[in-house]
Amino acid sequence: MKLEHLGIVGYGEVGKVFAAGLKDRMRSVSAWDLKFGIDADSAATREAELAHAAQAGVQASPSMQVLCQKADFVLSAVTASNTLAVAQQAAKHLRTGAIFIDLNSASPGTKQQAAQAVEAAGAHYVEAGVMTSVPPYGIRVPMLLGGAQAQALAEQLNGFGMDAKPVASQIGIASAIKMCRSVMIKGLEALVIESYTTARRYGVEGHMIPTLSETFPSIDWEKQGAYFFSRVAQHGKRRAEEMREAANTVREAGFEPWMADAIANKHDWVASQSRDDVFDGLPKGASWQQFADRLIARLARTE
Question: pLDDT digit string (tens) for 49-96?
Answer: 999 999 999 999 999 999 999 999 999 999 999 999 999 999 999 999
Reference 51, options 17, 11, 78; nearest CA is: 11
- In 128-172, which ranges are continuous DSSP H helix? 150-159
Reference 279, options 295, 261, 255, 300; nearest CA is: 295
DSSP state of 94: P
What is the model's pLDDT at position 135?
87
H or E element in which residue 164 lies: strand 163-168
List, for the chain, all residue ranges whose pLDDT scores fall below the cut of 50: none
What is the model's pLDDT at position 45?
87
What is the model's pLDDT at position 42?
78
What is the model's pLDDT at position 39?
66
**d(C-alpha 241, C-alpha 239), whole Å:** 5
- In the chain, what are the domains? 5-170 (3.40.50.720), 176-302 (1.10.1040.10)
What is the model's pLDDT at position 110?
97
Question: pLDDT digit string (tens) for 12-41?
Answer: 999 999 999 999 999 999 999 988 976 666
What is the model's pLDDT at position 300?
87
H or E element in which residue 36 lies: none
Reference 79, options 35, 144, 19; nearest CA is: 35
Which class for 12: exposed (0-12), middle (13-18), buried (19 or more C-beta within 10 A)? middle
Reference 157, options 20, 32, 21, 33; nearest CA is: 21
- Termini Cα distance of the chain: 62
Which class for 282: exposed (0-12), middle (13-18), buried (19 or more C-beta within 10 A)? middle
CA dihedral for 127, 182, 162, 19, sign (positive or negative):
positive
